[in-house]
């Protein structure tokens, strides 16, 4: 046996499968990173190992299903990995396509073995694994559209397409044979180049999957650093960054506004019903506000019960109407919490993004002053800044 014959290369592939199975198992059970998807991938890698280590070990299995059981493990491994990729990409598709391909391939294997057509059984195995690989490539392409660039997606699915072509080509080749050939064997000699191809492609697939998870983890960490953990609104730092962008555009003549609001009598909710009720009230408030926002608007939590809505490309008169809708929506939709009906209201301040204010400090200060004026006037109302002035006028609800 030479150093680079097929059996040696397949043993290296089996070792890599074992390593990847442990990696996904640790991700699932220790770090809790995509736990269900990682567990499926770990089970898939483990299932393929016996077929790689023992191509001709039919004696291990009880007759007459010895060949079928060995091939079934490989098919099961590919099915579990395809399902794991689908879960990882958060695709809510039914599993009927995966179960259908795997089930039909398994049935074809069993019928072929029982009828004595071992080459056809191996062809069915290869065809099933090839089709499952194509399904995995399609799921990776579809699920990656939201977070991955076109170039990265193409790079990631390339080894899947090559592996699927190799497996489907192997299936077509086997259908023309009159006797069984183990998976990486040509004639009487092992086909080392096919073993090399399988090893390199599975290395690329394994590293690519880990890269997708790491990228998702980094994106999640970045997302969490910009979000308020309770309400999922932008935190103060992220809101400030968005406001600076609008202020820069305001310098070029574009009209942007911001709406600041503070929940009325919020302390009473915490004092009478506890902080859990206060948290529920904030979540209810955010839901009502978002129902009256556009996709391009941005909602941020400045702290406590104080929030700010950025309204890009919105004149002051339109921003006033948006604040009025929000004020009325809060009044119409009280919070129902543990059989308690809690009316909610807020005091609003509406201000334009002013020129000569790159950090947005003066715009925020004006909106904040208008909120306090609305509270002084009786709460549950809005104050809108006079165009070009630092004073506000009160709008009765």
Residues acting as catalytic residues: 305
Do the Cβ atoms of 93 and 147 come closer than 8 Å? no
CA gap 147, 301 in Å, rounded = 25
Neighbour count for residue 256 (Cβ, 10 Å): 23
Do the Cβ atoms of 243 and 363 come closer than 8 Å? yes
CA of 129: how far to CAs of 30, 205, 276, 307, 368, in Å? 30, 14, 51, 53, 62
CA of 99: how far to CAs of 79, 121, 127, 148, in Å? 8, 18, 14, 28
Task: Kindly provide the b/e burial profile for residues 30-58, where b requires at least 16 CB atoms within 10 angstroms of the residue's own CB.
Answer: eeebbeebbbbbbbbbbbbbbbbbbbeee
Which long-range contacts link 314-320 to residues 24+ away (Cβ below 8 Å)? Answer: 314/255, 314/256, 314/257, 315/255, 315/257, 316/255, 316/257, 316/350, 316/352, 316/384, 316/385, 316/387, 318/257, 319/257, 319/258, 319/259, 319/350, 319/352, 319/384, 320/350, 320/382, 320/384, 320/395
**Helix (H) or strand (E) segment spanning residue 231:** none
Token digits of residue 167? 């497996």
Closest CA to 204 of 234, 236, 159, 238: 159
Rounded to 5 degrees, φ, ψ at 34 are 45, 60
17 burial via Cβ count (<10 Å: 0-12, 13-18, 19+): buried
């Amino acid at each position: 046996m030479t150093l680079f014959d097929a059996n040696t290369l397949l043993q290296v592939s089996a070792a890599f499968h074992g390593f990847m199975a442990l990696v996904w198992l640790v991700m699932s059970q220790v770090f809790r990173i995509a736990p269900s998807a990682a567990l499926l991938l770990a089970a898939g890698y483990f299932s393929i190992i016996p077929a790689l280590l023992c191509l001709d070990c039919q004696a291990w299995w009880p007759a007459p299903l010895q060949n079928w059981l060995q091939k079934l493990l490989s098919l099961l491994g590919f099915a579990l990995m395809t399902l794991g990729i689908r879960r990882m990409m958060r695709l809510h598709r039914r599993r009927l396509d995966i179960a259908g391909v795997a089930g039909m391939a398994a049935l074809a294997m069993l019928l072929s073995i029982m009828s004595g057509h071992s080459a056809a059984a191996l062809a069915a195995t290869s065809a099933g694994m090839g089709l499952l690989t194509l399904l995995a490539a399609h799921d990776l392409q579809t699920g990656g559209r939201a977070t991955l660039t076109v170039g990265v997606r193409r790079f990631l699915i390339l080894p899947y397409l090559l592996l699927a072509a190799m497996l489907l080509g192997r299936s077509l080749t086997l259908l023309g044979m009159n006797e069984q050939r183990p998976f990486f064997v040509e004639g009487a000699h092992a086909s080392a180049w096919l073993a090399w191809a399988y090893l390199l492609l599975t290395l690329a697939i394994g590293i690519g999957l880990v890269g997708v998870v790491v990228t998702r983890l980094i994106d999640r960490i970045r997302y969490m650093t910009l979000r308020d953990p309770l309400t999922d609104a932008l935190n103060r730092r992220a809101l400030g960054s968005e406001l600076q962008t609008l202020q820069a555009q305001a310098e070029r003549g574009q009209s942007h506004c911001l709406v600041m609001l503070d929940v009325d009598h919020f302390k009473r909710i915490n004092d009478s019903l506890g902080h859990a009720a206060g948290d529920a009230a904030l979540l209810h408030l955010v839901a009502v506000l978002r129902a009256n926002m556009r996709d391009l608007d941005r909602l941020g939590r400045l702290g406590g019960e104080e929030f700010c809505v950025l309204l890009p490309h919105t004149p002051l008169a339109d921003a006033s109407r948006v604040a009025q809708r929000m004020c009325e929506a809060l009044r119409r939709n009280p919070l129902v919490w543990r059989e308690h009906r809690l009316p909610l209201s807020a005091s609003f301040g509406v201000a334009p993004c002013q020129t000569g204010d790159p950090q947005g400090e003066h715009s925020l200060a004006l909106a904040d002053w208008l909120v306090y004026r609305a509270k002084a006037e009786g709460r549950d109302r809005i104050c809108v800044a006079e165009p070009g002035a630092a004073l506000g006028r009160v709008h009765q609800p």
